[in-house]
Amino acid sequence: MSTGTTEITPMLQSFLSSPRKILIDGKWGNTLSEHTFPTFNPATGDVLCQVPDGQKEDIDRAVKAARHAFEQGPWRTLTPSERGKRLWRLADLMEQRTEEFAQLESLDNGKPVTVARGADVPLAIDLFRYMAGWATKIEGNTIPISVPYAPGAQFHAYTLREPIGVVGQIIPWNFPLLMATWKLGPALAAGCTIVLKPAEETPLSALLLGELACEAGFPDGVLNIVTGFGETAGAALAAHPDVDKIAFTGSTEVGRSIVHAAAGNLKKVTLELGGKSPMLVLPDADLASAIPGVFNATFFNTGQCCGTGTRLYVESRIFDHVLAGLADQAKQIKLGSGMEPTTDMGPLISENQHQRVLGYMESGLKEGAQAIVGGHRYGDTGYFVEPTVLVNTAQHMKVVQEEIFGPVLCAEPFIDLEEALEKANNSMYGLTAAVWTKDVSQAHRIASRLRAGLVWINCHNIVLDAALPFGGYKQSGWGREMGHEAIDLYTEVKAVCAQL
Ligand code: NAP
Ligand code: MG
């Protein structure tokens, strides 16, 4: 099979032509109902293959396997060094399959294969290697204590950092492999066991990753993968009474339902949710880097990033110049199948998202915004939309307040920096923000005023490094992914106090 001009590797052809299974307790099998659902190529709408439609009872079997592996399996007794080695081995195995992973991401998600090869896959590999290093560095403290009612007594008090237990992980479709690794890496390094539910739209790379995890030597039941839908498999995982923590990435709305579902057994929850990230361009900015920077911030991954820069505030004297630069670049962008090596921007993920993004464009235009470029569907097959820049937007508009998750930028000029900062922070979200200026002191002052979990200065989308903690203020989430912060969130602290 060939799609565009990238030839699908024989290994991947055989992966796609055999029916996919779910992974429970180290074995690949069917769901109890044996029902399946199709996953599509969003560039064409064609079915790629069928995957199992996991239900509550399959989640239950997977949680039981994870519980058994946590309490009684060999995972508990492996040294931290052995855990780290398996993570490193998994990274090595992935590296050997870089091309398969890149093509699978492109076919299932629509993103350019060149981007998957250059970013998604190497970043995922790096994440596992970074977390492999942490496995041997999860430490407690010794604590000198003072006990007023035990004069003369001596104590030895210390803390242990222990794995949190059985973890449910629910991930979205925008970076299918990378989102799986952000979740799996720290959980495995910490010694947890896992039930992973990939997104219904993009289940394939997680299944290939599961095959390599078996090969890398993770004991049975440590990693279980159940494909299925959010309302069934996802909801069952979030509500399961024997799951100790749920880690979720996706929409803020579903994040709220996860919190409700988790309340039953008060499981720990971390959430990586939506964003509506602002970007500020000051008059002294180096426009030769700011214009392509803003452009990339908005249109990378077809705007389907939680950290996508979607609100642009440019000092009024340079507004027209910056906007003309953005429009110029947008006109040159090449849309097409991700498997075409020359494609710059792929389709949106699904018919649903296509309708949703087109609906937002229409609502913006109806409310008085003007598209200086784009504003329409592109082509008549697949889920493409034109890269779009809207001006004459105002704070009350839906396009300015709500997460669009598509290639749509709302740009406004500003005169007063205070007013621009106020607008930048005027959002229920607080995931990322960016500022372009040559004034270093000013840049750091602005960084401290922006209410966001990650602020970029003179750059954007430098987010995906495994060492940099990522997560949101306000309704963009709870907790952080990556960095040592992620390890902390997969461990419990146990205090031990001994009288000597
Ligand atoms: P979503 O519904 O939040 O889906 C994310 C994950 O949660 C998927 O695995 C989904 O399963 C699952 N899920 C859905 N309902 C659930 C429930 N009640 N209980 C447990 N799990 C559930 O996101 P979406 O529908 O794919 O996209 C909608 C919007 O979410 C986007 O337009 C965007 O605004 C936002 N989003 C944000 C991110 C991010 O990185 N922050 C990523 C993707 C989407 P299914 O596969 O069946 O949907
Ligand atoms: Mg798909």
Please tell me the predicted confidence (pLDDT) of residue 2. Answer: 39
Residue 250 Cβ inside 6 Å of ligand 1? The answer reads: yes
Q: At residue 136, does pLDDT exceed 80?
A: yes
Residue 172 Cβ inside 6 Å of ligand 1? The answer reads: yes
Residue 249 Cβ inside 6 Å of ligand 1? The answer reads: yes
Please tell me the predicted confidence (pLDDT) of residue 332. Answer: 96
**Ligand 1 atom nearest to CA at 476:** 41
- Taking the chain, what is the end-to-end CA distance rounded to the nearest angstrom? 71
Residue 251 Cβ inside 6 Å of ligand 1? The answer reads: yes
Q: From the CA of 204, how far away is ligand 2's center (Å)?
A: 8
The model's confidence at residue 152, banded by pLDDT at 50, 70 and 90, is very high
Residue 281 Cβ inside 6 Å of ligand 1? The answer reads: no
- Give the Cα separation of 302 and 388 in Å (integer): 11
Strand partners, 169: 196, 247
Ligand closest in space to the Cα of 110: 2
The catalytic residue among 49, 192, 305, 306 is: 306
pTM of the complete model: 0.97
- Give the Cα separation of 77 and 70 in Å (integer): 10
76/95: higher pLDDT = 95
- Give the Cα separation of 264 and 187 in Å (integer): 22
Q: From the CA of 172, how far away is ligand 2's center (Å)?
A: 12
Residue 170 Cβ inside 6 Å of ligand 1? The answer reads: yes
Mean pLDDT of 450-472: 93
3-state secondary structure of 350: coil
Q: Give the whole-number percent of the chain exceeding pLDDT 90.
A: 96
Which own/partner contact pairs does 139-146 have at CB distance under 8 Å and 24+ positions apart? 140/493, 140/494, 143/495, 145/497
Please tell me the predicted confidence (pLDDT) of residue 4. Answer: 53
Sequence-distant (6+) residues with CB within 8 A of 449 are 421, 425
Residue 57 CB neighbours (<10 A): 12
The model's confidence at residue 6, banded by pLDDT at 50, 70 and 90, is confident
Mean pLDDT of 194-207: 98
Please tell me the predicted confidence (pLDDT) of residue 461. Answer: 84
- Annotate 173-230 with DSSP letters as a single string: SSSHHHHHHHHHHHHHHHT-EEEEE--TT--HHHHHHHHHHHHHTPPTTSEEE--B-I
User: Are 144 and 123 spatial neighbours (Cβ–Cβ below 8 Å)?
Assistant: no
Dihedral pair phi/psi, residue 497, rounded to 5°: -130, 120
Residue 53 Cβ inside 6 Å of ligand 1? The answer reads: no
Ligand closest in space to the Cα of 50: 2
Distances in Å between the Cα of 141 and the Cα atoms of 158, 160, 187, 229, 469 are: 5, 7, 21, 42, 23
DSSP 8-state secondary structure symbol assigned to residue 333: P
Residue 231 Cβ inside 6 Å of ligand 1? The answer reads: yes
Structure tokens at 422: 């106020």
259: left (phi over 0), alpha (psi -120 to 50) or beta: alpha
Q: At residue 5, does pLDDT exceed 80?
A: no
Residue 241: burial class (beta carbons within 10 Å; 0-12, 13-18, 19+): exposed
**Ligand 1 atom nearest to CA at 253:** 3
Which residue CA neighbors atom 25 of ligand 1 most closely?
Answer: 251
Please tell me the predicted confidence (pLDDT) of residue 1. Answer: 37
The catalytic residue among 272, 315, 403, 481 is: 272
User: Are 285 and 439 spatial neighbours (Cβ–Cβ below 8 Å)?
Assistant: no
User: Are 261 and 238 spatial neighbours (Cβ–Cβ below 8 Å)?
Assistant: yes
Q: At residue 231, does pLDDT exceed 80?
A: yes
Q: From the CA of 14, how far away is ligand 2's center (Å)?
A: 17
Mean pLDDT of 432-450: 98
Q: What is the pLDDT of residues 299-333, one digit of tens each?
A: 999 999 999 999 999 999 999 999 999 999 999 99
Dihedral pair phi/psi, residue 277, rounded to 5°: -75, 130
Ligand closest in space to the Cα of 199: 1
User: Are 338 and 107 spatial neighbours (Cβ–Cβ below 8 Å)?
Assistant: yes
**Ligand 1 atom nearest to CA at 272:** 41
Mean pLDDT of 413-441: 98
The model's confidence at residue 371, banded by pLDDT at 50, 70 and 90, is very high
Confirm whether 272 is a catalytic residue: yes
Ligand closest in space to the Cα of 39: 2
Mean pLDDT of 219-233: 98
Q: At residue 482, does pLDDT exceed 50?
A: yes
Which residues are found with C-beta within 5 Å of the ion, ligand 2?
A: 39-40, 108, 201
**Which of these, 88, 62, 355, 79, lies nearest to 227 by C-alpha position?**
62
Please tell me the predicted confidence (pLDDT) of residue 254. Answer: 98
Please tell me the predicted confidence (pLDDT) of residue 242. Answer: 98
Residue 405 Cβ inside 6 Å of ligand 1? The answer reads: yes
Q: Which residue has the tokens 């494909």?
A: 227
- Give the Cα separation of 424 and 276 in Å (integer): 9
- Give the Cα separation of 135 and 185 in Å (integer): 10
Q: Give the whole-number percent of the chain exceeding pLDDT 70.
A: 99
Angle between helices 80-96 and 121-134 (to 10 degrees): 170
The H or E element containing residue 497 is strand 491-499
Which residue CA neighbors atom 8 of ligand 1 most closely?
Answer: 199
The model's confidence at residue 19, banded by pLDDT at 50, 70 and 90, is confident
- Give the Cα separation of 98 and 263 in Å (integer): 40
Distances in Å between the Cα of 224 and the Cα atoms of 26, 145, 169 are: 7, 42, 10
User: Are 233 and 198 spatial neighbours (Cβ–Cβ below 8 Å)?
Assistant: no
Q: From the CA of 111, how far away is ligand 2's center (Å)?
A: 11
The mean predicted confidence, pLDDT, of the chain is: 96
The model's confidence at residue 164, banded by pLDDT at 50, 70 and 90, is very high
Residue 233 Cβ inside 6 Å of ligand 1? The answer reads: no
User: Are 322 and 281 spatial neighbours (Cβ–Cβ below 8 Å)?
Assistant: yes
Confirm whether 306 is a catalytic residue: yes
User: Are 52 and 21 spatial neighbours (Cβ–Cβ below 8 Å)?
Assistant: yes
| Probe residue for ligand 1, chosen from 181, 197, 232, 251 as the CB with the greatest number of ligand atoms within 8 Å | 251
All structural domains of the chain: 2-273+478-497 (3.40.605.10), 277-465 (3.40.309.10)
Which residue CA neighbors atom 48 of ligand 1 most closely?
Answer: 230
81: left (phi over 0), alpha (psi -120 to 50) or beta: alpha
